[in-house]
Amino acid sequence: MAKKSQPIDHLKKLILKEMTNNYPSFPPSYIPINDFSQIKNKERRELLRIEKFINLFGNGKANIIANTGTRRDTRKVNTCAMGSKRMIGSVQYTKSQMQNGIADIKSSVFGLTVDFELKRIYKNGRDRQSDEQKKYEEQLKGAGGLYKIVHSFEHFYEIYLPLHKEINVKMNGLFS
For 46-92, how does the pLDDT look when each residue is reduced to its tens digit (9 = 90+)? 999 999 999 999 899 999 998 777 888 889 999 888 889 988 888 88
For residue 72, what are the domain limits? 6-175
Decide: 103 and 146 in contact? Cβ < 8 Å.
no
1: pLDDT strictly greater than 50? no
CA distances from 170 to 37, 62, 92, 142 (A): 35, 20, 48, 18
Number of domains in the chain: 1
Q: Are 107 and 113 in contact (CB under 8 A)?
A: yes
**How confident is the prediction for the chain on average, in pLDDT?**
89
How far apart (Å, rounded) are the C-alpha atoms in residues 157 and 162? 9
Q: What is the pLDDT at residue 92? A: 86
Q: Which is it for strands 70-73 and 91-94: parallel, antiparallel or unpaired?
A: antiparallel
Please report whether residue 50 resides in a domain: yes
Compare 18 and 94 and report the one with higher pLDDT.
18
- Is position 1 within any domain? no
